[in-house]
Amino acid sequence: MLALCGVLAACSQPQETTVPKETLSPEQMLGKIRAQSEVGDEVVFQAMPDEVIVDLRQRAQSAEQIGEFAKARDLLDAALAINGNDPEVLQLRAELAIRQKTWSEAVVLARKSYTSGAKLGHLCRRNWLTVHYAQLAQGQALPEQELARHLADCTVLPPARM
């Protein structure tokens, strides 16, 4: 009888243990997204800025820094009413959506920013990281290799000069 129990125990399936996914707060996600600064001498294209949009964007960033998130959202929405395809404003609005845990909105805005932008530099990297973290929060993160490829595609270094 004891031998039979031993054989059955050896053949039984171990109980599945679920390992919780690493969960980040929206603030931690934003820290990782916004840490994507310029990479040395990379090639970056920037269109001539509209001064009204630049002012609204700067005021929104100031409002966000002091915790006035609704005001920041309203200022960015006002900028988007002027130019609904401004990639920097779209990305900032996507980052506010991360803060507000409106994950689907963050993905849509970051993808629109990417489509509207130059697809190079820190803004491009922020676009893809926003998509990644918003999808991660929904249990649908980009595969690591795909994310790495997108981030690498965002960085174009100029040719070495002799």
For the chain, the structural domain boundaries read: 24-153
State how far the Cα of 18 lies from the Cα of 153, in Å rounded to an integer. 34
Percent of the chain with pLDDT over 70: 77
Query: From the CB of residue 88, how many other CB atoms can be counted at a distance below 10 Å?
Result: 20
Residue 10: pLDDT over 50? no
The alpha carbon of residue 114 and the mean position of all alpha carbons in its chain are separated, in whole angstroms, by 11
User: Average pLDDT over the chain, rounded to whole?
Assistant: 84
Q: Given this model, what pLDDT does residue 156 score?
A: 81
67-117: pLDDT as tens digits? 999 999 999 999 999 999 999 999 999 999 999 999 999 999 999 999 999
- The tokens for 115 are 């489509």
Specify the CATH class of 24-153 in words.
mainly alpha
pTM of the model: 0.81
Is residue 74 a contact partner of residue 56, using CB atoms and an 8 Å limit?
A: no
- The tokens for 87 are 């990639």
Close Cβ partners of 131 (under 8 Å, ≥ 6 residues apart): 106, 107, 110, 111, 114, 142
Burial class from Cβ neighbours inside 10 Å (0-12, 13-18, 19+) for residue 56 reads: buried
Q: Given this model, what pLDDT does residue 41 score?
A: 62
Rg of the chain over all Cα atoms, to the nearest angstrom: 22
